[in-house]
Structure 1
């Protein structure tokens, strides 16, 4: 059921930084079953650990997105904001999107609003198979920017699996960053 995620868990074994499955797969890992088809797979890492990817990406083509266009990544180049994603392609056709996350001291920082933070010590969720995944409340906050049909589906699927603390953090974050978001109606009651 989570074959792609298990493959990545094994592939990332040699990576010495912190990492998490992100996006829709993180939602499904939290629920414990695949709820929909996924077009891609994303891994969140901390920006400061981007050089730790170099051994993993040996032999892979990598690009970063600049103004919504792919630019070849010279792996010696340090990727600074506003660049937040690396797309890596293996010779066998595997594609992985790495999401560069910010942090300051012991707190993750939302790249779109640095006032929204999260304690890194609470970013330790793992599936039954031991696959690390990004906290679903953080995933949903990212999905709130351009809420697509699949994002609405993810929110509906995971809502009953969120504890009160997760719902409260998401509610407060949305109130600060997306104060008119449709998910707030459900989170307020």
Structure 2
């Protein structure tokens, strides 16, 4: 559905890890997609035939319509999009993230930034996905068994600079996280 997008986007979540390691690790409920908040109007244009909902307030699990002319402000960042048929299940969680110029800025700590060019990777089949170290960083806030599985699968693939970079990101947001020692 994003093949024609003229803005950056990345498969996120567990599928991003699987694209990085090249194999399935665990079952998934849905394919998360990350886009930049500054491109939300372009997303709306691309998905104009889809029913779009926003999680408001964040973390509460309540959905409300994302009105066609509405510009979403921080802290709103999670959406669900589905086809217009009411019988269709929710198909894609869509996440908005921040950027300043050519830098990605995490909403958890504005001091945590990376060049947008380092935010993602491209699979051999051309699918853009979130860099595995960025995906793991997102999961340090609440690490569950499935994130441990992801970490174990990705760790051998991370080079020295990726390990150091991930450890630095974790130190800035969750300094006591156990992954820091393993990196």
SS of the aligned residue for 2:148 comes to: helix
Preserved contact between residue 119 and residue 134 of structure 2 (Cα < 8 Å): no
Match of residue 119, structure 1, among 115, 122, 130: 115
Could you tell me how far apart the structure 1 residues matched to 2:68 and 2:31 are?
21
More helix by share: 1
Identify the match of residue 154 of structure 1 among 147, 150, 156: 150
Task: Encode CA deviations 1:17-66: one digit per residue, 9 max, x unaligned.
Answer: 10010011000001111111111211111000001112332232111112
* 1:30 and 2:20 are equivalent in the alignment: yes
Note the aligned Cα RMSD (angstroms): 1.3
Structure 2 matches for 1:1-189, cutoff 5 A?
11-67=1-57, 68=60, 69-90=62-83, 91=85, 92-93=88-89, 95-187=91-183
C-alpha distance in structure 2 between counterparts of 1:101 and 1:166, whole Å: 21
Question: For 1:24 and 1:124, how far apart are their aligned partners in 2?
Answer: 14
**TM superposition shift of 1:124:** 4.4
Q: After TM superposition, what 4+ stretches of structure 1 lie above 6 angstroms from structure 2? A: none
SS in 2 for 1:171: helix
- Which residue in 2 is equivalent to 1:5? none
Shift of 1:121: 2.1
The offset of 1:122, in angstroms, is: 2.2
